[in-house]
Every structure is written in C-alpha cells, then in structure tokens.
Amino acid sequence: MSVAKRKLGSSDLSVSAISLGCMSLSGTYGKADDAEGIALIHHALDRGVTMLDSSDMYGWGHNETLIGKALAAGRRDGVVLATKFGQVQRPGGANGVDGRPEHVKAACEASLKRLGVDVIDLYYQHRVDPAVPIEDTVGAMGELVKQGKVRALGLSEAAPATIRRAHATHPIAAVQSEYSLLYRVDAEETLKTTRALGIAYVAYSPLGRSLLTGSVRQIGDIPEGDGRGRHPRFAADNLARNLGFVGAIEGIARAKSCTPGQVALAWLLAQGPDIVPIPGTKRASRLDENMAALDVRLTPAEVSSLSAAIPPGAAAGGRYADALMKAVYL
C-alpha cells in the first residue's frame, strides 16, 4: 500500500507522511509482547509506513533487536530505519548522556549488530551531551556516513543554536522533538531554525501520549506499569485541565465523522510538508486509525480554530518530570 511521502531535509530519504515510533514495543507503556510487536511492524509496513523509529535505549537494546527480527523476514527493502544513540544507563539514577566520538562509533556498531543490517538510514543523537562540543559528536557521526554505515544524520531534543552548529559541521536531515497541539512552544521555536536550514522535523508524541485521543479520562484509565502514570500531564489536576482542551478537537471530529486522534494528527500535518509525525502504538487498530488521518482534511479556518483553542503554553504539566527536563532542548 502506498501513502503520501515527505522528504527528510536535503537527504535522499523520503518517508511516509505518518511513520511509526517503536518505543512502546519495549515496555514503556506497560507490558509488551515480542510476537505481537513483530506482527505490528509487519502490519505497519503493509499499510504503507516506511520509517521505523527506534533507539538503543528503548529497552536498552531490546527495541532494535525486535525490529531486526521483524525486518529479517524479507522486509528490509523500502524501509527507512531510524535509530538513536547517546543515552547511557546510570544505575540508581537518571540516564547519563555520552556524545564522545568513541561512544558514537561504538554505539553505531552495536546498533548495526542488533538491527542485523549493514547501514542505518537515519542516525540521531538522542540527547545532546553538554560536556562534548556538538561539532565533535556530529563530526564522528559524519565519519559514519563516509564509511557507509549511516545514510543521514539527525538530532533529537536539540535547541536552535545547537542545530545550527551541528548543521555547519555536517548536513542534518531531521530534528526530532515533541510536537502536538498540547506542546508547541519549543517545537515552534525550533521550526524557525529547521526551516531556515532545510531540515525536516520529526514529531514524536504527536497525540500527547494518547491524551489528545480522549481515551484517558482519569488516572485509573492508565494500566499498571504504564509510564504515563508518572507523567506530569496525567497528574490529577493537570489531567483535568488538559482534558478541557480535548473538547475542541472532539467537536471537529464529530463534524468530520472521524476520531479526535485523527484530527490532532491532521492539524500537525497541516503545519507544513516538512513535518513527519511518528505516533507509537502496540495495536493494529490504533495504527490503522492513525494512518487514516492522512485522509482527513482540515480547512484553514479549522486549523486556526484549533490553534487558538489550544494556544502555545496552555498545557498543564511539563513535557517530562523536572529531572528529565534538564536533558532536553540543549
């Protein structure tokens, strides 16, 4: 099945306008089953998804291994395989960050082995390391391109000044960060820079970790072991406030006979052809719903109405807990 494509910066990579974030297949949002995860990936590819987004820290290698198994069944061709490096385990504390050139090279070799491939299509620095000049990290990433181990480079959660310095060192094809109707401040500031440099914007958590779908109405709707139970935006008072914004989405969804999640994705797609949302899911039915958002057309008036109903900075609760916010937008 073929779906609309969007280009990743000045690279030669084009990907499905909605692609798949794979983090949830490694236990972040409650228990995950490997066989079901592989089946979901195959279903996504059958539905026209062409980019799979992973990281070496999703399940600390599990996610890449799972994707490798899914692609080993003759499914590698036509897939843009994206993964990330840079976060490292620190027992008893928050994750560390390592952007040293030697870590870049070692992490890439480990990811290639887990994925079972010879080349990674899009390789991101997952978090910026404030102790290592971005020129050194991206310089090492550029060496991987020269060696044929990586096709294009990306940054995740990088601030505009960092993006400019990185892009001056080696072309950056994509910047990935959180972007949705609920979380726009950092994203819209970053877009000014990515657009000036011709870089694509890959939007993770485009459904606000399901909040914009209206499927979570109270904290009890979140399964035990699901990371959303510890997320600031789902805390009782914050959840009540954030749900107040969902009504505007639901109104348009009723008028268009579609779901709130599809409206939220359609709004994001309408922000520009340089944006690629990567909603994650463990369920084929939810993936089908997300892909059907490509057929939802919002008028300019509807886009403006949603933007005004949920203005930048309106969401209650941070993008992450305070300790984790120290590692983003650097």
pLDDT beneath 50: ranges in the chain: none
Q: In the prediction, which pLDDT does 115 show?
A: 98
Q: In the prediction, which pLDDT does 56 show?
A: 98
Q: Please tell me the pTM assigned to this model.
A: 0.94
Annotated catalytic residue, options 58, 179, 183, 204: 58
Of 142, 151, 97, the closest CA to residue 120 belongs to 151
Q: In the prediction, which pLDDT does 237 show?
A: 83
Q: In the prediction, which pLDDT does 181 show?
A: 96
Q: In the prediction, which pLDDT does 215 show?
A: 78
Q: In the prediction, which pLDDT does 73 show?
A: 80
Q: In the prediction, which pLDDT does 322 show?
A: 67
Q: In the prediction, which pLDDT does 91 show?
A: 80
- The contacts of residue 204 (CB under 8 Å, 6+ apart) are 21, 53, 176, 177, 178, 179, 278, 280
Q: In the prediction, which pLDDT does 174 show?
A: 98
58 labelled catalytic: yes
